[in-house]
Amino acid sequence: MTLDVSTDKEYIYNYLSDENGKSIRLLTILPGAAADPVFVKIEEFHLDEDWDLVVDYVALSYTWDSPGAEKRVHIGEHGEEGFMLVRPNVDSALRKLRSSADEEHHVVWIDAICIDQNDDDEKMKQVAMMGEIYSKARGTVIWLGDADDRTELGLRACDVLAKAYWKMTYGDEMDEDAAGSGTDSWETESTDSMDIVGMNATKTVKAILGDSNRSRPTSKAKGKKRKREDDAEKERRRIREDDLSSLL
Sequence-distant (≥ 6) Cβ neighbours of residue 147 within 8 angstroms: 198, 199, 222, 223, 224, 225
Do 132 and 158 sit in the same domain of this protein?
A: no
Predicted TM-score (pTM) of the model is 0.65
State pLDDT tens for residues 52-110.
666 789 999 887 766 788 999 999 998 999 999 999 989 999 998 998 867 767 899 99
Strand pairing report for 58-62 and 71-75: unpaired
Do 103 and 213 sit in the same domain of this protein?
A: no
Do 134 and 148 sit in the same domain of this protein?
A: no
Angstrom CA distances, 3 to 14, 37, 43, 74, 95, stand at: 22, 8, 20, 8, 17
Q: What percent of the chain has pLDDT over 90?
A: 26
Angstrom CA distances, 168 to 64, 68, 214, 226, 233, stand at: 27, 37, 17, 28, 19
Greatest mean pLDDT among 8-12, 194-198, 212-216, 237-241: 8-12
Residue 2 confidence (pLDDT): 62
Domain interval for residue 31: 5-138
Do 77 and 161 sit in the same domain of this protein?
A: no
* pLDDT beyond 60 at 207: no
Domain boundary among 138, 173, 195: 138
Mean pLDDT calculated for residue range 183-206 = 37
Instruction: Answer for the pair 220, 199: CB distance below 8 angstroms, yes or no.
Output: no
Do 101 and 176 sit in the same domain of this protein?
A: no
Mean pLDDT calculated for residue range 32-55 = 82
Do 158 and 45 sit in the same domain of this protein?
A: no
Residue 179 confidence (pLDDT): 44
At residue 196 the predicted structure's pLDDT band, cuts being 50, 70 and 90, is very low
Amino acid at 221: A
Do 119 and 169 sit in the same domain of this protein?
A: no
**Buried-state track 31-40, b at ≥16 Cβ within 10 A, e below 16:** ebeeeeebbb
Residue 228 and residue 187: Cα distance in Å, rounded?
Answer: 8
Do 181 and 94 sit in the same domain of this protein?
A: no
* pLDDT beyond 70 at 36: yes
Half-sphere exposure of 235 (CA within 13 A, CB side): 20
Residue 84 and residue 113: Cα distance in Å, rounded?
Answer: 8
* pLDDT beyond 80 at 32: yes
Residue 76 confidence (pLDDT): 94
Mean pLDDT calculated for residue range 115-144 = 88
Do 109 and 81 sit in the same domain of this protein?
A: yes
Domain boundary among 87, 111, 138: 138
Instruction: Answer for the pair 220, 195: CB distance below 8 angstroms, yes or no.
Output: yes
Do 78 and 11 sit in the same domain of this protein?
A: yes
State pLDDT tens for residues 139-175.
888 887 776 666 677 777 777 777 777 777 766 655 5
Domain boundary among 118, 138, 158: 138
Residue 228 confidence (pLDDT): 39
Q: What total of structural domains would you count in the chain?
A: 2
